[in-house]
Amino acid sequence: MGWPMAENLARTGLEVLGLDALTERAEAFHRQVSTRNDGIENIEALVIMVVNAEQIRSLLFSDALVVGGLASRLPTDACIVQMSTVAPADAEALAADVAAVRPDLHYVDAPVSGGVVGAQAGTLSIMAAGDAPSLERCRPLFDILGQAIFEVGDRPGQGAAMKAVNQLLCGVHIAAAAEALALAEKSGIDRQIALRLVQGSAASSWMLRDRGPRMIEPPGDVTSAIDIFCKDLGIVCDAASSSRAYTPLAHSAHQLFVATAEGGEGRLDDSQLIRTYRRLNGCDPEGGGQA
């Protein structure tokens, strides 16, 4: 997602410096997109979009890309805009660690929703948390990257908590859509008819409308992988445990995604969660009827 987000920033005339752990990818980005090469010592904002909290910590404090980490090289008053999906506790801890070594920097916890498609279109939903001055400084970036910008709290960690709420619903909705369409198949109902009916009824959801067509087709392009929801719903379950919140649906959905990944299908599009339901129903996972 970071590449199309950076492209959108560059298209507006902002000067963009791209960094990536993979040298060949960074070089490709520089050839195609980067509009500056003067190093991070002169940037106004560091936007982070990586896989997990471990990668963020490595980038900020000990990454091989920059001796000592990126945090040590940023200029005074620069913004760190952390947009990856991480646990609320990790988001809070990262912000505290940055403040301990660089109190002169602004830190905003701003995870996003919308996937690669939203990143490409500049229509992400952004859940930003931080002090008012930091949020104000980052607003121009958010207006370029997203269509729905929500200031959900005044301290880092609250953005990540809101993203957990969002991902709980996304994961459960995918699982529910897969369960329903697999039941229709098991009952001998034409899958196209079943999908059209539920898409146009009170049973519909955004995830059903988006993932449903891919569920009834063979595996194809990947917009968001099964493995991503293993991670995201794991964060949801951990956040719920930390908050002592009761989330049985999230835990059930998480186990379904994990079972699918452990079956060797973690890199398939998350719509292919339906394959696990088909197997459990004694059907061909490819959707060809009884196995």
Q: Residue range 219-237: average pLDDT?
A: 95
Confidence band of 67 (pLDDT split at 50, 70, 90)? very low
| pTM of the predicted model over 0.85 | yes
What would the pLDDT profile of 3-16 be if each residue is shown by its tens digit? Answer: 999 999 999 989 89
Give the C-alpha distances (Å, rounded to integers) separating 161 from 99, 101, 154: 20, 25, 12
What does the alpha-carbon distance between residue 275 and residue 266 come to, in Å, rounded to a whole number? 12
What would the pLDDT profile of 189-217 be if each residue is shown by its tens digit? Answer: 999 999 999 999 999 999 999 999 999 99
Per annotation, catalytic residue among 106, 137, 163, 214: 163
User: Residue 287 is encoded by which pair of tokens?
Assistant: 């959707």
Do residues 135 and 128 lie in contact, with contact meaning Cβ atoms separated by under 8 Å? Answer: yes
Quick one: DSSP state of residue 114? S
What does the alpha-carbon distance between residue 44 and residue 138 come to, in Å, rounded to a whole number? 10
Is 163 a catalytic site residue? yes
Provide the pLDDT for residue 289. 65
What does the alpha-carbon distance between residue 173 and residue 175 come to, in Å, rounded to a whole number? 5
Confidence band of 25 (pLDDT split at 50, 70, 90)? confident
Give the domains, in start order, of the chain with CATH numbers: 2-154 (3.40.50.720), 162-280 (1.10.1040.10)
